[in-house]
Structure 1
Amino acid sequence: MAYTLGFGKHKDKTLEWLFFNDPGYVWWILSQGAQKNLKGAARTRFDDLVRRAKHLAIPGKCAHCPQTVSQMSLTRHPSGGLACVDFFCSRCHHDGGSFSVLTTPAFYTPDFFKNYDKLGGKFLVDAIKYAYFGKKVRMTQAKMEEFFDKPSNFVNP
């Protein structure tokens, strides 16, 4: 069952929709304590989605070697926001000319480069979708729910 947000700029959007369309807003909700506005089963679902969103099990291999993915590289654009997302194993990393940060694969770009980077969030989600589906894919509500309900998509689901 899909639960919707009952407040804010994305009122009436589903919880899954938030992660695939505006992940920065999810983390803003948490930073403001606004999740307290979700009650009962909707709050439980939100908490589950947040936990899973922080622990992605990116399928496939490292960008540089045949090892499994365990890190996500976030590269800063010269204008200040997120420019690129790549996935690596624990031994390899990005060695580019721009500043980058290694973190755990997640629907989360802690505001390393810019507060509430909506375009960066789109880059992040596009990279995650490509890693899981191998192509550009339209995420219907059913597909978003299926993604979050599949334990193999997450580390410690």
Structure 2
Amino acid sequence: MTETKLAQGDAAPDFTLPTADGNTVSLDDYRGKRVILYFYPAAMTPGCTKQACDFRDNLGQLTSEGYVVLGVSKDKPEKLAKFVERDALTFPLLSDPGLEVHKAYGAYGPKKLYGKETIGVIRSTFVIDADGKIDQALYNVKATGHVASLKKKLNLA
């Protein structure tokens, strides 16, 4: 399996995906804005909940600095809707059950899990500039403390 890894300056792959509330979101909808696009393995699991709640708790600051936050997983919209409701998430969660967008961003492929090589979702975050280019491509991020570390990288801490 060939791995696509994005780097700073690459064009962010465009996409249109269904949301938890049954609408669709396209990257193109946010042209002219800075987007934080993060991929996580599974809604309602402990690490993914921690990460989503961190984004929720920091959304005010990120929004005031001109960022839009979008979360992507392979979960179906119905499960995402439960996640949004359970944890009062205030940003769009996008459903990519076919993993096309995950693969386009290099967020699916070989990874180490508990010391074993496996194939799966690679927890990743991308900062996309207003022109649709990758500003930061962060692979294999940790769920805990990720938003704080991202804010430092964005000079927001």
Fold-level similarity (TM above 0.5)? no
Query: TM-score, with normalisation over the residues of structure 2?
Result: 0.27
- Per residue, is there more strand in 1 or in 2? 2
Name which structure has the greater RCO, CA cutoff 8 Å, separation 6+: 2
- Per residue, is there more helix in 1 or in 2? 1
Query: TM-score, with normalisation over the residues of structure 1?
Result: 0.27
